[in-house]
Structure 1
Amino acid sequence: MHRLTLDQVSRRFGEVAALDGVDLTLVSGEVHALMGENGAGKSTLIRTLAGLDRPDTGRLALDGTPLPAGNPAAMRAAGLRFIHQELHAVRGLSVAENMHLDHPYPRRAGLVDWRALNRAAAAALARLGLTGIDVRAPMTALGPGDQMLVRIASTLIPDAAPGARPAWLYVMDEPTAALTSGESERLFAVIGELVGQGAGILYVSHRMPEVLRLAHRVSVLRDGRNVSSRPLAETGEARIIEEMTGRDLGALFPPRPAARPAGEVVLRVADLAAGPLRGASLELRAGEILGLAGVAGSGRGALLRALIGALPWEAGSAELAGRPLGRGPARAWAEGLAYVPRERRTEGLMLRRPIAENVALPYLARLARLGLFLDHRRQRRLADELGGRVRLKAASVAQACEELSGGNQQKVLFARALAGGPRVLLLDEPTRGVDIGARAELYRLIRGLADTGLAVLMASSDLPELLGLSDRIAVLRDGRLAETVPAEGLTEAALLARFYHDDGAVT
């Protein structure tokens, strides 16, 4: 059994204490969840464990023996491995070659022994029960979930460095952020295999259901300090949230409004075919939150991209407020649709540009003087007003988006979506990669917008989010909208069953 300890570890960046006297003990055979809002110190702690940051004070020790801080090679030799949500596969190389990027290729007579390389990769995958992955296939032919599992399996290939320990501690940073529910289930099974073989897991995630399902122990950081470290049996969701945020958030989801007359139909879609969609039809009413659910590839995100004009239509029609919906993003935005994309960093934001420029991006023509010159004062006023509405936390609207937390970056996208006074808000995974405090704020914002009469169409792979926020849930199967059901009273099991078949008896 191995034990890695951090004893009074502190790390400052200027006047900011990223870590302030942190104690942490990680042991083999245990999943240890690390929780905290963005800015709590989790990333700095991970970088310290990886040897990328040297603490100002404190020490790290393995089984009582001090480890040299700020030394990545020493941390690897100590058996630590790091699995991040961003997987950097080398295009053009096979699965086996990618698995050997941290290991020397086996050689025979001075040449690469391809048979031995493939055999070692297959053996590592087999240790985790992943016998269905072809090690000779291009890595890029695999989905994100399989790439994640391959990355984990690669750590089981013996390290050739003299005196190196076998991998025993896996630090997983938001590992399911880019995975579907099915891919996440495979990851959880692999985590179970690793723990069963004696490995320890430091699991960092904003997704509370995963933590409550997987963890043996939960530690909470807030403002760089330890708040608690307890066995899971001695804590729970409400207590973890209060410790993370320093306040009682109450229920994570705001209450649904009392029964009221159905609003007018704002958006009507008929037999839409685009990308994986093969005939989706729906009606969305004013003041309603309609969730879009289904397995990966069912078309939930494609429906939003088609409506906003980012995915070409093959057939079908759509009406917004009784008028045919224009094709193309510019017309869709101008006519009253607004869109918050799934990938804020790659699809939504100009990260190095100021908040004000990001908020105003779809509305430059409206903000131009004489149709020629951008009115920067109006642009800043707009961003200030909308920033206050979404409770954006930033030094000013001149601050670059890359300097904001994930939750505040998401709020910039919401501010942009609201700037044009839309009739329909399209949300694709609206709280992905957002901490629990910011997530609660976004839920209140979305419900508040719906209460003012805005119609919301929300695609999400997070079942509690769909059930807690939606008024109705539309289930897509094989590119078609199979059924629409009330969210109230529906269980996760019943909703998941509907992904595969229509069975009203499942509860």
Structure 2
Amino acid sequence: MSAVNRLEMRQISIEFGGFSALSSVDFTLAGHSVHALTGANGAGKSTLMAVLSGAYDHYRGEILLDGQPVSIRSPRDAKQLGIHLVQQEVDVALVPTLSVAENIMLDRLAEGGQLYRWREIRRQARALLAQLDVSLDVRRRIDQCTLAEKQQILLARALSHHCRFLILDEPTAPLDRHESERLFAVVRRLQNSGIGVVFISHRIHELRAICDRLTVLRDGRLIEAVPMASLSGEQIVEKMLGHQLADIYPPRRKDNHGETLLSVEALHDDTLLKNISLTLRKGEILGIAGLAGAGKTELCKALFGASRSRIARGELHGKAWKPASPSASVAQGMALIPEERRKEGIFIDEPVTMNLSVSADNSFSQWGIFGHRQAWRWAEEVIQKLGIRTTGPQQTLRRLSGGNQQKVAIGKWLRNDADVLIFDEPTKGVDIKAKTDLFSLIDTLARQGKGVIYASGEFAELVGLCDRICVLWDGKIVAEMDASEADEETLLLYSTGGAPA
């Protein structure tokens, strides 16, 4: 390990189709440091790290390692210099049909040129996991591993090389609090071994807990590069937004909700949900609070008919109803914005136009022929209405930030005018500016008379946005309260199986 271990990016600029993604950005990373990189969606964080990890070769500027200029024009160049990226979508970097050991040693196996014995491969994999204080069955297939375990496997793969600098892109987005704490312990262990870590996150409290330095980007430009302790959480958010931090939640709506839209009595599924009863009225935002594993996603899918369930009695729009299938739910005016938007809510490799028209009624079709021009005009209208940051309706969704992808996942339901909208962890992986936009959008939908179910483990969001809150624990609703009388501590207490004294 180099005694200096210092990486510098100087005056980095890059454009895509005439759009400037980065403009003269400087960034410095030292060994033994955990460096926070933050900014609003579209600020340039991932693009800057993509340059560092060799994903783009058409950037301007220079990169120095221990004071010496280096050329990074491919991922292979970066890895040879000891620079490794663990991206947010961990499944993309893993082979699901191979074992844990094979995935950890994948780069070495792909190089060829020498014979490996399976016993030795597994031994090396165990040794790398041991460096992270992680114990896994290295014979297990990747598709049998949890998200947290997959992340640990990618960290072990990075250590299989001469890793000097490690980039973690939104590493806690798919993790619960306990898993995040375990990750922090691993990061500190890597830091103590001399590795420089870049930690990209929107969660300010996490950055303050784990990082010693901070760089803030906004609109592709460097805003601040300072020790973490020099700024408060509020100041960091203000740097990200470019203006003073006001209340990010819309003004609370008056309790003038209309008649009941949806009513559910004694809903059960075959795995977790037990005796769920709830009502949703026109113009109301109903919060569903719960920690990971409480049943939030299971409830959202059951209500939408995406998983099997049974109920004693149900009504939708005043008529007898029970969950049947997603297609039936769409026909009845229901919509689901799922937690795993890339897997279940959008087509990540298709253009914005296709994603915004996929859930529409047949108004784009005539005599069985799809009207591309009408769909294009509709996409332009939604882009304008929701403030989706994109180069145009033709842009592939993969090129959009997480917050803008989420806006598309919502926008696709606007054409068929759904009036019961179910949001499952809608701000997952979304920054503070995009959250503000989403809160405003959801509030607008409620003011239009739509009923919104908002399921989240972010208790501050539930208190700030919702009208009523139901708390899930172990598949059961254990409490219901008016949001104006709720607080985060009470929600946490109920969500862990407790009750106020």
Question: Shorter-chain TM-score: what band?
Answer: 0.7 to 0.9
Query: Per-residue deviation at 1:308?
Result: 1.6
Residue deviations 1:150-178, cap 9 Å, x none?
A: 22133333x3xxxxxx3232100111222
* Range that drifts further, 90-99 or 308-317: 308-317
| Alignment equivalent of 1:464, drawn from 460, 464, 483 | 460
1:100 partnered with 2:96: no
Q: Where in structure 1 are there 5+ consecutive unaligned residues? A: 160-165
Percent identical among aligned pairs is 38
* Range that drifts further, 433-442 or 55-64: 55-64
CA 74–363 in structure 1, closer or farther in 2 if over 3 Å, else same:
closer
Contact 2:314–2:321 under 8 Å retained in 1: yes
Distance 1:471 1:141 in 2: 39
Distance 2:350 2:85 in 1: 31
Residue deviations 1:233-262, cap 9 Å, x none?
A: 22233333333333345222223235x356
Give the secondary structure class of the aligned counterpart of 2:336: strand
Per the normalisation by structure 1, the TM-score is 0.87
The equivalent residue for 1:244 is: 240
CA 199–399 in structure 1, closer or farther in 2 if over 3 Å, else same:
closer
Give the secondary structure class of the aligned counterpart of 1:419: coil
Residue deviations 1:282-338, cap 9 Å, x none?
A: 222333222223233332112111222221224444322322235222322222212
| Alignment equivalent of 2:118, drawn from 99, 114, 118 | 114
Distance 1:494 1:263 in 2: 28
The equivalent residue for 2:95 is: 90
Per the normalisation by structure 2, the TM-score is 0.88
1:15-414, aligned counterparts within 5 Å?
Answer: 15-54=18-57, 56-87=59-90, 88-104=93-109, 112-131=116-135, 133-157=136-160, 159=161, 166-257=162-253, 260=255, 263-274=258-269, 275-325=271-321, 327-351=324-348, 353-369=350-366, 372=368, 379=375, 382-394=378-390, 396-397=392-393, 400-414=396-410
Distance 1:24 1:387 in 2: 33
Query: Per-residue deviation at 1:395?
Result: 5.1
Q: Which amino acid aligns with 1:8?
A: Q
CA 491–32 in structure 1, closer or farther in 2 if over 3 Å, else same:
farther
Contact 1:338–1:418 under 8 Å retained in 2: no
Q: Which amino acid aligns with 1:207?
A: R
Contact 2:51–2:59 under 8 Å retained in 1: no
Query: Per-residue deviation at 1:342?
Result: 2.2
Contact 1:106–1:112 under 8 Å retained in 2: no
Distance 1:185 1:439 in 2: 24
Distance 1:62 1:187 in 2: 27
| Alignment equivalent of 1:451, drawn from 430, 435, 447 | 447
Contact 1:10–1:56 under 8 Å retained in 2: yes
Contact 1:59–1:69 under 8 Å retained in 2: no
Query: Per-residue deviation at 1:415?
Result: 2.2
Contact 1:180–1:461 under 8 Å retained in 2: no
Distance 1:224 1:374 in 2: 38
Q: Which amino acid aligns with 2:120?
A: A
Distance 2:111 2:198 in 1: 31
Distance 2:186 2:211 in 1: 14
RMSD in angstroms over aligned alpha carbons?
Answer: 3.0
CA 76–382 in structure 1, closer or farther in 2 if over 3 Å, else same:
closer
Q: Where in structure 2 are there 5+ consecutive unaligned residues? A: none
The equivalent residue for 1:3 is: 6
Give the secondary structure class of the aligned counterpart of 1:136: coil
Residue deviations 1:402-447, cap 9 Å, x none?
A: 5544333322222222333333211122123333322211111112
Residue deviations 1:2-35, cap 9 Å, x none?
A: 2211122223345333222211111122221111
CA 352–52 in structure 1, closer or farther in 2 if over 3 Å, else same:
closer
CA 374–45 in structure 1, closer or farther in 2 if over 3 Å, else same:
closer
CA 72–385 in structure 1, closer or farther in 2 if over 3 Å, else same:
closer
Q: Give aligned pairs, total.
A: 493
Residue deviations 1:59-82, cap 9 Å, x none?
A: 222222222232544432332221
Contact 2:361–2:415 under 8 Å retained in 1: no
Distance 1:79 1:400 in 2: 31
Give the secondary structure class of the aligned counterpart of 1:210: helix
Residue deviations 1:117-160, cap 9 Å, x none?
A: 333222222222223x2222222211011110122133333x3x
CA 296–34 in structure 1, closer or farther in 2 if over 3 Å, else same:
same
Distance 2:467 2:339 in 1: 21
Query: Per-residue deviation at 1:228?
Result: 0.8
Residue deviations 1:455-477, cap 9 Å, x none?
A: 21112233433343233332222
CA 360–150 in structure 1, closer or farther in 2 if over 3 Å, else same:
closer
Query: Per-residue deviation at 1:56?
Result: 4.3
Contact 1:11–1:57 under 8 Å retained in 2: yes
Query: Per-residue deviation at 1:271?
Result: 1.8
Contact 2:53–2:72 under 8 Å retained in 1: no
CA 2–311 in structure 1, closer or farther in 2 if over 3 Å, else same:
same
Query: Per-residue deviation at 1:83?
Result: 0.8
Contact 2:294–2:475 under 8 Å retained in 1: yes
* Range that drifts further, 59-68 or 11-20: 11-20
Give the secondary structure class of the aligned counterpart of 1:239: helix
The equivalent residue for 1:162 is: none
Q: Which amino acid aligns with 1:359?
A: L
Query: Per-residue deviation at 1:219?
Result: 0.8
Distance 1:155 1:359 in 2: 38
Give the secondary structure class of the aligned counterpart of 2:436: helix
